[in-house]
Structure 1
Amino acid sequence: MKYNYKTYLVSLLFCAFFLEANAQQKQMSGKVTDTSLMPIPGVNVRVKHQNKGITTNFEGEFSLNISTKDTLVFSYMGYQPQEIAVSKQNFLAIQLAPAAHALQEVVINAGYYSTTERERTGNIVRVSGKDIELQPLVSPLQALQGRMAGVEMNTNSATPGAAPTIRIRGQNSLRQEGNSPLYIIDGVPINSTPIESNSSLGFAGIDPLSTLNLSNIESIEVLKDADATAIYGSRGANGVILITTKKGKDQKGIQARIYSGVASVPNKLDLLTTKEYLRLRQQAFTNDGVEPNETNAYDLLLWDQDRYTDWQEEFLGGTAAITDVNIAAQGGNDQTYFSVNGAFHQQGSIYPVDLQYQKFTGGFNLDHHAKDNKFQLNLAINYGVDENELLGDGINFGLKAFQLPPNAPELYLDDGSLNWEAWSEAGLTNPLEGIFNSSTTQARNLITNLNLSYVLVDGLELKTNLGFTDYRSDELVKMPKRSYNPAGTPLHTSLTTESQRKSWIIEPQLHYTKQWGKVNLQALVGGTFQENQYDTFSVQGNKYISEALIGNLGAAESLINARARNTDYRYEAVFSRLGLHWDKKYYLNLTGRRDGSSRFAEGNRFANFGAIGAAWIFTEEAFFKDRLHWVSFGKLRGSYGTTGNDQIPDYGYLDAYEATMGPGGVYPTGLANPNYSWEVNKKAEAGVQLGFVKSRIDVGVSVYRNRSSNQLVGYPLPGITGFTSVQANLPATVENRGVELEFSSENIRREDFRWETSFNISFPKNELLRYPGLEESPYADRYRVGHPLNIGLLYAYQGIDEATGYYQVKDQNGDEVYDQEDRQVIFDRSRAYFGGLNNSFRYKGFSLQFLFQFVKQKGSFTGLFNTGFPQNQLDEVRDDSSPYTQVSQTPEASQAYARATESDLVSEDASFIRLKTLNLSYSLPTHWLESLSLSEVTFFMTGQNLLTITPYKGMDPAIPNGGTAFSGLRTLTTGVQLNF
């Protein structure tokens, strides 16, 4: 289904301009600077007692239509607000003085309550929407790469909409699916499990967050330690990611942004030319003493010896076009204000097929408060539709691009059909078998949230959070018979998959605040009632009489492999928080939660979790102020607590059955275990925050230790039992510990020039601390006590066997059998450290920002050195000094190569430094815009993945064990932002 996005955008523009029609006509302009006369961009300029205002541009300038009776309020984070009566003035020169405590102005979303950067006792990091909205990305999580300490985000595929993997402070659980953080959008929990797909482009699934509008995100907060996450109980075991959308408060106007650009593969591997490839192939026959014939040497005897095709360019050399349009408008009065937004995003494909990704999003936010401010209402509605066209089945372009011999014949005939004959005479199938297959996945995602609050008496407030989500995904894979060799009598076939995820949540809360002199008390108590439903259905249709009817199940001659699955997950909890601080120096935060999950049997269904956090702002002490004036801010903080984990399949404590293929029968598919219980994560942390030179330099250091025990896993069972696994607790303890450093500085602050820097680095350490009975368990060949979970057990490589010329690994026990007992080399795949360096420069209307991401890690390159076999190789194999010097194609050589790929021969340094993002922009001066009735015009250019420095041999060190896989495209876009 294709959408008429032009009509969609025109409608939004019409609504937005209608809101603007009532604006007043008096023109007021001005400039806002700090006390050193340096312009301050982004200052909120608001008309007092009205929901009307704008923000200053990069030169600190503003222009606004107002009345002579109005009063303007100027506010900006870290500065003291200022009010100016307009009167008959036409130009205002405003100077804002720094606030006494700039950190106190930074408001942080902590989930059920708000705090400030100055007062927080937990570890919460924040990325603002300004760092997200201009990046040419599909998922907002991709914008976190390199920006947050302790947060690892890996994009596993360059396909738009592919689900990324995110880990907050490492892997806590033995099972991969048990390490996902909790995602909350505007107070509503989101099921972040990737959507299943039948596409063959090689990724874990489709990201349900891809339907979000990046331009509509106000901020993303990540909660990491026990003090920050314990209020979410079991749901916060692996950290919490809070996504807050824009509210439009204190703003009125229209913003329109459009950008377009291109994306391409950022790297190519150096492979053999035709001449080099054929020489090594001939040498393999000589080494093996085998006579070439048309069966074993089709590339030497049947194929053109002078033909050369750069298959990387053929399959991965395309350019993907990108277009993004976003429109937002705000309006209202001093009691009710609202915002509406809509966006369209489209991205093409680098592959030699016409594939498109399209996303349409719309959002609405309504805020209302009574005149006495006792009653407040906030409604947020976000709806997204994306349509992902992927290749249906059978082709991995990345693999074909590197393995096909350089003299392979044409893939197509002149009429556009596949060339079967040239490949069949060599006993092969055309590498593009399946090229005419298609897969279209359409997702529709509705996220709604309603917050109601009422002040019962002074200091006592009743709140209710109501949320509903509805995610639907429909995938249709069409496989016409022209995709396959006609000699095999193929049929027209389809695969249909329909999924739906629905959830609702109700959270009543009671908040109480009280001040007694220097003592401030904040307390809340609340409850959570949540239900998630997941339904999926899939069926295969066969023998359609026409290609045009593929997908119409009524036209299929037969329907097979029909499957339906329905699960229902229920969760309920009570929670409380008590926050105390005295004289704005000493802070104490106590959190408790009792959780109940339907994923456990009676008797194990409920568990208690809690945490304590404390902080001391020692620079508020009189003895410190009198001695170290150059330290403007200093805070010590610490926390300890427990959170749980119930990220396991539903109904594992019950026996499960499915219907047999024939009528009237069932067979067991799941074995019950009612005795397993909650996985528990105990978290401890200590940290210090320091500010120097009037907080122009800020430093934060955090030291943490998390221990996850009572591990929940699907315990493997012997095949003789009739079941593959049973849900159970293991007596294993996993520890994640580390140090995180965050640094920010305002290096230069002058009238026309500003330079700011931020830096973060993390030193994580993951370890299987204990596992009694590991040697006798099914995990004996996977883990080692005292080492990380993310390890590989490898053979020890010993070079080329002089007698045979084959790759050789060490037979550790001398039994002349190579098995698991010989895999004694422990290969650590985890990161030694990672982080990012961000710089921001502003000069008058110009702005330059760039982010470098860096990672220290080991990786492996496991392919393209099987020299002698009929597939292309790295050009390194032609060098006699290379370790890849086996040239043979015997079965013994193949076996030796397989063992070499599972040895430390393939281990290498996969560290990298990457220019992750670059943004250059220019804002027109305000006096140029007065005649256009515009408050801002900004032209910008953005680059993504522009440069990577790495010793890694593979395509992308961000996938350090992927070899020929790559995670991101090099992207360059240009655009314009218009504010009315």
Structure 2
Amino acid sequence: MKNKATRLTGVAWILVAVFWATGNLLWAALPQQVVSGRVTDTNDNPIPGVSITLTNSSRGTQTDLQGAFSLNAQATDTLRIAYLGFKSLRIPVGTQMRFSIVLEQDITDLGEVTINAGYYNTTRREQTGSIARVTAEELERQPVTNVLTALQGRMAGVSVVQRSGVPGNAPSVQIRGQNSLRSGFGNSGNLPLYIINGVPIDSAPLNSFSGLTSPNIAGIDPLNTLNPANIESIEILKDADATAIYGSRGANGVILITTKKGTGGKQKTRFNAQVYTGAGVVPRKLDLITTVDYISLRQEAFANDGATPTQTNAPDLVLWDSQRYTDWQEKLFGGTAQTTGVNLGISGGSETMRFNLGLGYQRETAVFPGDYLYNKFTANLNLSHNSRDDRFSLQFNTSFGSDRNRQFDGSSFVSTGLSLAPNAPEVYGDAGELNWEDSSWTNPFSTLYRESEARVQQLISSLSLSYAITPNLEARLNSGYTLLHSNELVKQPLTFYNPTLWSFINSRSLHVGGQRESWIVEPQLIYRNSWGKFNLDALLGSTFQHRKNTGLNMVGIGYANDQLLGNLAAAEQLFVTDNTTQEYAYAAGFGRVGINYARKYYLNLTGRRDGSSRFGPSRRFASFGAVGAAWIVSEEGWMQGLKTFLSFTKLRGSYGSTGSDQVGDYGYLDTYSATPGGGGLYPTQLTNPIYSWERNRKLELALDLGFFKDQLRLSSSWYRNRSSNQLVGYNLPAITGFTSIQANLDATVENTGWEFEASTNLRAGRFNWQASLNASIPQNRLIAFPGIEESSYANIYKEGESLNIQFLYDYTGVDSETGLYTFKDINEDGVYNFDDRVRVKDLTRSLFGGLRNELSYGRVRLDFLWEFVLQEGQQYYPGIAPGRLGAILQEDYERRWQNPGDVAEVQKASQTIDASRAYNRLLTSAGVYTNTSFLRLKTVGLSYELPAENWGLNSCVLFLQGQNLLTFTRYRGLDAQSPGTNLPALQMLTAGLKLNF
């Protein structure tokens, strides 16, 4: 593959050189002229920042504060004038040198706001694929650590789940469902492709010994190093037409992140500053049992069992104070998290050079007791340059982010706070040390003695060079480099352990280190031309990428002094648990042809030939492609009579295939590891050189409508994605000496669904109202898996059902005579047989979306977003059965069985084996699954723009922002979004000031 890549590179650059030389001659023959002008609204007010581009090239400029502009153009060029909230214009240049342009307000950006489609740009009116977009205005004031959490409820087909309220946690992101059978940490096969300014980012969570930031996947999200205030827009590519040009990398959708750019021309240098501060708390606490009722319940359990309380089996009744009550929720996670953020920026330049420089700092404490802290520093720089004749342009972006995280996932504090007896002992003894009263008491505050700190630094840089060989042909070179360095240190002194349980434990330190380094180069040729009503936009390019990941994990055990913890030279024993280096190479050739006729018939053809080092030599290359088409029906002559009502109608559709190589490196090889002490090698993996790419075939049909001059816009789409040739670790019998081998399974996963979007924008004098609604109705099914009954996947998946299912016991209620939970078709042999789980429950979201409103009057603006999810899930039940040592919910106490003949919902208080078995089966039965849907006021913001013109400021805005302020749900746990004992998403309230001058 290396030789092929070299030949492709050579051919590409020979073509560029030939076109360059030929283009210089052709260009020289075409006369250039400087055109200038001024852009105003209908009241003759200048409009700064208006985009002025040439329709057949990427060259352009922006108007300055007085609405003025100038650029080089030819008589055959056409000026394209576009600005958000105003109707766009196209004006032929001809012989005119000076333009006075008046823009009319438009309630829609349907036609002219540029949308990033990856290797090319399009507009909402002209796009043939499915692309969702969120702008900086919706992102920049949210005090989030990870920018992806700001996308919740804002995009159809994009499911974002925040697993924890601990800052820095890695959210779960799925675009139109789960495609792969693989799941879990790292390359799960379902990760989207993240592109930042043209540079792909490895988004797999980083390994963590302490479980930092993610209770479900032990890892740290590398995207935390991005600054949300520096992001201009986020586009998400969903269907085949939008993603096929990325080939195998776009199988699970593509997330394009574009950072802010500088402004130049005649505008003066601009400064901006944003400062905010706020606080966050856990939005909901559970109604746990009181001490009086708890003591009564425990005594009732001993009476039901005919047993006697002792110091061993009932310290809470015999040893502990029966009058003491502690709300452990308040003590363990009832604090207030403080957050502070500062963002500074400067932008400016000249007619040929523009720059944007930004700095950011964020700090957030925890709701847990103790000195837990998360802080982040970011810096970013954008440089843009174009020659005076606009033939050459340069774009350079670089960003650096540094995270320091001294928090932990918090699940231990949350679970302990929900299960600890209300009369448990005080946490500290007379000497101020942790109180270890007996072996039944595990003091949760021992975690305070465990120190952990994770540091992540990431550099992302990109350079794009372009040269207009002729007015219609452009050569472009995109390149990028990323470097991520991470390390984590966890210190566990002797005081961390309970001495009554651990008498032979030594102090230890855990060390995790890793580095990810990647570069990419993409030479391209772009051709644009028009012949009457026929327009052509073609792209030819190639990709060469290399990635190298290294990891080193060590454990030091036995330190003479806690002050030496972390110094590996002072450890009595040292173990290396991981020392790996993995390299990944990727090469591809791609092309696109975009055709439109009369701006009403559109055809988009894309293709890509991919090569990946993750497959054997005979299976490395595969081809992917797609076709997308759109018909703007409202442009037909026979539709003109309906335009006063139905102002816009577009039919579009796409079909194509993408692939996936999201498996580990070197999976096709026999691999060996060294034995300790250098005694030799032992095999760790079997070879399989013939497994190959997953295939994801995507189909979409859509209808876009505009009513009343596009004051109301509706869009609906139906999609079907089928992923086959599944790449999994195929389980092997133990006799082989290996647990699995990488292989392709003849299984097919199907995701179908409907997506709906509606938006409106009404203006009346100084009042403006914008509203948008999105809703998704997804369905996921395993439509084929031959031989699943004989495979190890029979206990996980089922043909015809979703991948997100649970096999459950069939719950039949509480027996009125015995007082125990009962189940249908259970083999009462005391063994938990999986075959007894006859009920199947689908936990896939059946509906999700969001409703956003923005109202403004004069200088005051109010915006809010409601997120809604329709789903089923596991209702919260304490991990301890009624009557055992530990707290339960007050409502369970009041609904328990007490006497024969009672019709109850909660089984009797008991500590017997039968009662424990019945309760454990309940937790894996249909009896605990219920409607866990929720409606949440995700964000609400209120801002006021002060009349700061007299102060020499362009703008001064005061804002108040709230997150997760209200939630309506039947779920009785802490957070319906992430059931269980994770720290819920915090209820945050922040206030800030934003200045532009």
The verdict on a shared fold, with TM-score over 0.5 as the criterion, is yes
Does 2:201 match 1:190? yes
Does 2:930 match 1:933? no
The correspondence of residues 335-354 of structure 1 with structure 2, limited to 5 A, is 335-354=352-371
Q: Write out per-residue CA displacement over residues 541-573 of structure 1, whole angstroms, 9 at most, x where no aligned residue.
A: 122232222112222232124420110011110
Q: Write out per-residue CA displacement over residues 5-31 of structure 1, whole angstroms, 9 at most, x where no aligned residue.
A: xxxxxxxxxxxxxxxxxxxxxxxxx99
- Residue 498 of structure 1 aligns to a residue in which SS? strand
Does 2:933 match 1:911? yes
Matched residue type, 2:705? L
The correspondence of residues 172-571 of structure 1 with structure 2, limited to 5 A, is 172-176=179-183, 177-200=188-211, 202-204=215-217, 205-250=219-264, 252-391=269-408, 396-420=412-436, 422=437, 424=438, 427-486=440-499, 488=503, 490-571=505-586
CA distance in 1, matches of 2:618, 2:894: 66
Matched residue type, 1:294? Q
Matched residue type, 2:969? T
CA distance in 2, matches of 1:291, 1:958: 42
- Residue 390 of structure 1 aligns to a residue in which SS? coil
> Residue 896 of structure 1: which of 918, 937, 954 is its match?
918
> Residue 798 of structure 1: which of 812, 826, 843 is its match?
812
**What does residue 985 of structure 2 align with?**
968
Counterparts in 2 of 1:841 and 1:43: CA distance versus 1, 3 Å = farther
| Cα drift, residue 496 of structure 1 | 0.8
> Residue 616 of structure 1: which of 610, 613, 631 is its match?
631
| Cα drift, residue 521 of structure 1 | 0.6
Matched residue type, 1:180? L
Counterparts in 2 of 1:539 and 1:476: CA distance versus 1, 3 Å = same
Contact 1:63 1:935 in 2 (8 A): no
| Cα drift, residue 54 of structure 1 | 7.0
CA distance in 1, matches of 2:953, 2:524: 43
Counterparts in 2 of 1:360 and 1:203: CA distance versus 1, 3 Å = farther
**What does residue 68 of structure 1 align with?**
none
Matched residue type, 1:729? N
**What does residue 140 of structure 1 align with?**
147
Counterparts in 2 of 1:152 and 1:52: CA distance versus 1, 3 Å = closer
CA distance in 2, matches of 1:792, 1:770: 18
| Cα drift, residue 877 of structure 1 | 1.5
Counterparts in 2 of 1:882 and 1:272: CA distance versus 1, 3 Å = farther
- Residue 571 of structure 1 aligns to a residue in which SS? strand
| Cα drift, residue 582 of structure 1 | 0.3
The range that moved more, 170-179 or 101-110, is 101-110
| Cα drift, residue 693 of structure 1 | 1.1
Contact 1:911 1:951 in 2 (8 A): yes
**What does residue 966 of structure 2 align with?**
947
Counterparts in 2 of 1:43 and 1:792: CA distance versus 1, 3 Å = farther
Percent identity reads: 49
Contact 1:146 1:854 in 2 (8 A): yes
| Cα drift, residue 750 of structure 1 | 1.3
**What does residue 707 of structure 1 align with?**
722
CA distance in 2, matches of 1:703, 1:737: 7
Counterparts in 2 of 1:245 and 1:418: CA distance versus 1, 3 Å = same
Matched residue type, 2:701? A
CA distance in 1, matches of 2:824, 2:768: 60
CA distance in 2, matches of 1:935, 1:414: 61
Counterparts in 2 of 1:967 and 1:507: CA distance versus 1, 3 Å = farther
Contact 1:170 1:766 in 2 (8 A): yes
- Residue 396 of structure 1 aligns to a residue in which SS? helix
Matched residue type, 1:841? L
Counterparts in 2 of 1:33 and 1:301: CA distance versus 1, 3 Å = farther
- Residue 381 of structure 1 aligns to a residue in which SS? strand
Counterparts in 2 of 1:611 and 1:145: CA distance versus 1, 3 Å = same
Q: Write out per-residue CA displacement over residues 645-683 of structure 1, whole angstroms, 9 at most, x where no aligned residue.
A: 110111111112111124321111112211211100000
Contact 2:402 2:458 in 1 (8 A): yes
- Residue 676 of structure 1 aligns to a residue in which SS? coil
**What does residue 31 of structure 2 align with?**
none
Counterparts in 2 of 1:793 and 1:47: CA distance versus 1, 3 Å = closer
- Residue 884 of structure 1 aligns to a residue in which SS? coil
Contact 2:83 2:113 in 1 (8 A): no
| Cα drift, residue 413 of structure 1 | 2.5
Matched residue type, 1:456? I
CA distance in 1, matches of 2:598, 2:872: 49
| Cα drift, residue 486 of structure 1 | 4.7
Q: Write out per-residue CA displacement over residues 826-852 of structure 1, whole angstroms, 9 at most, x where no aligned residue.
A: 111001100000000001100000000
The correspondence of residues 771-920 of structure 1 with structure 2, limited to 5 A, is 771-811=785-825, 818-861=832-875, 863-864=877-878, 866-880=881-895, 883-920=905-942
CA distance in 2, matches of 1:915, 1:829: 23
Q: Write out per-residue CA displacement over residues 287-318 of structure 1, whole angstroms, 9 at most, x where no aligned residue.
A: 11111111111100000000000000000101
| Cα drift, residue 817 of structure 1 | 5.5
CA distance in 2, matches of 1:100, 1:215: 26
| Cα drift, residue 375 of structure 1 | 0.7
**What does residue 86 of structure 1 align with?**
none
Counterparts in 2 of 1:491 and 1:53: CA distance versus 1, 3 Å = farther
- Residue 520 of structure 1 aligns to a residue in which SS? strand
Matched residue type, 1:929? E
> Any unmatched runs of 5+ in structure 1?
1-29, 56-61, 65-72, 84-92
CA distance in 2, matches of 1:602, 1:855: 46
Q: Write out per-residue CA displacement over residues 182-201 of structure 1, whole angstroms, 9 at most, x where no aligned residue.
A: 00000000000001111246
**What does residue 958 of structure 1 align with?**
977
CA distance in 1, matches of 2:823, 2:107: 66
CA distance in 2, matches of 1:95, 1:514: 28
Counterparts in 2 of 1:146 and 1:427: CA distance versus 1, 3 Å = closer
- Residue 482 of structure 1 aligns to a residue in which SS? helix
**What does residue 97 of structure 2 align with?**
none
Q: TM-score, normalization: structure 1?
A: 0.90
Does 2:127 match 1:120? yes
CA distance in 2, matches of 1:470, 1:505: 12
Contact 1:391 1:435 in 2 (8 A): no
**What does residue 154 of structure 1 align with?**
161
Matched residue type, 2:335? G
CA distance in 1, matches of 2:344, 2:478: 28
Matched residue type, 1:510? L
CA distance in 1, matches of 2:812, 2:107: 66
| Cα drift, residue 432 of structure 1 | 2.9
- Residue 792 of structure 2 aligns to a residue in which SS? coil
Counterparts in 2 of 1:82 and 1:463: CA distance versus 1, 3 Å = closer
CA distance in 2, matches of 1:772, 1:482: 54
Q: Write out per-residue CA displacement over residues 213-272 of structure 1, whole angstroms, 9 at most, x where no aligned residue.
A: 100000000000000000000000000000000012346300000000001101111110
**What does residue 765 of structure 1 align with?**
779
The range that moved more, 696-705 or 873-882, is 873-882
CA distance in 2, matches of 1:460, 1:407: 78
Contact 2:52 2:82 in 1 (8 A): no
- Residue 432 of structure 1 aligns to a residue in which SS? helix
Q: TM-score, normalization: structure 2?
A: 0.88
CA distance in 1, matches of 2:64, 2:987: 35
**What does residue 600 of structure 2 align with?**
585
CA distance in 2, matches of 1:665, 1:838: 63
- Residue 104 of structure 1 aligns to a residue in which SS? coil
